[in-house]
Amino acid sequence: MKQSIPNIITLVNAFAGSIALVFIFQQNWSAALFCIAVGLVADFLDGAVARALGVSSELGKQLDSLADMITFGVVPGAIMHQLLLKQLIATNWNSHLAFLGFLITVFACLRLARFNLDTRQTDSFIGLPTPACTFFIIGLLLIDWQQLVGASLLKEPLVLLGLTGLLSWLMVSPIPLFSLKFKNFKWNGNAIRFVFLGLALGLIIFLKAAALVPIIGVYVLLSVVYNQFYSVGN
């Protein structure tokens, strides 16, 4: 029974993501975001609970990827589809181009499959993690929905299509990205994490709900700069 608890939490993630999809296509954004938040919490808790209980299994690993595929693969693809569809109709473009939003789903699937086979991604990542991609797309949704800073840019279908291509590539790119996991809270070894958290907090204070997009942008940029200097130093 103890070994089943993390798996049950993982299935909550899958269930919440599935319900979020229904709300996305109904454009009930508040309900969709709530379900995504439940999925995110469950995704964090399953691993934490498994470690606390001292249980792990191959089934749990596979379930985690399958649940993530829903919440961090299909869900962001559906959001991008809806954002594209809205702007394509408004600008008299071919509405079928909105299906390209699901490239996010396709590349998230490829990323998750690679992640399961890649033993290098234990303390860091190679390519943009699917939750980070999802946060970015939720940020786009919030900007468009609440007409926040940058909303005018999202009225251009080419901008959304370009972001779709960029995010899809980043998920399977060879770019090393640091993890936010702290083994301790000393500055040495965690400097990049503290700098990122400080910048993220500043962006949240100044931009509020519009901060998600630049936060993920800063995460990628800091990773690139850090790895460039780290490589030179070594």
Q: How many C-beta neighbours within 10 Å does residue 229 have?
A: 10
List of the chain residues with pLDDT < 70? 121-123, 230-234
- Per residue, the 3-state secondary structure of the chain, as one string, reads CCCHHHHHHHHHHHHHHHHHHHHHHCCCHHHHHHHHHHHHHHHHHHHHHHHHHCCCCHHHHHHHHHHHHHHHHHHHHHHHHHHHHHHHHHCCCCHHHHHHHHHHHHHHHHHHHHHHHCCCCCCEEECCCHHHHHHHHHHHHHHHHHCCCCCCHHHCHHHHHHHHHHHHHHHHCCCEEECCCCCCCCCCCCHHHHHHHHHHHHHHHHHHHHHHHHHHHHHHHHHHHHHHHHHHHC
pLDDT at residue 54 in the model: 81
Residues whose CB falls within 8 Å of the CB of residue 78, separated by 6 or more in sequence, listed in order = 21, 24, 25, 101, 102, 105
Domains and their CATH numbers in the chain = 4-178 (1.20.120.1760)
Burial group, residue 65, by CB count within 10 angstroms (0-12, 13-18, 19+): middle
Summarize pLDDT for 180-227 with one digit per residue, the tens: 877 778 888 788 999 999 999 999 999 999 999 999 999 999 999 988
The pTM score is 0.93
pLDDT at residue 121 in the model: 67
pLDDT at residue 59 in the model: 87
pLDDT at residue 18 in the model: 98
pLDDT at residue 185 in the model: 80
pLDDT at residue 234 in the model: 39
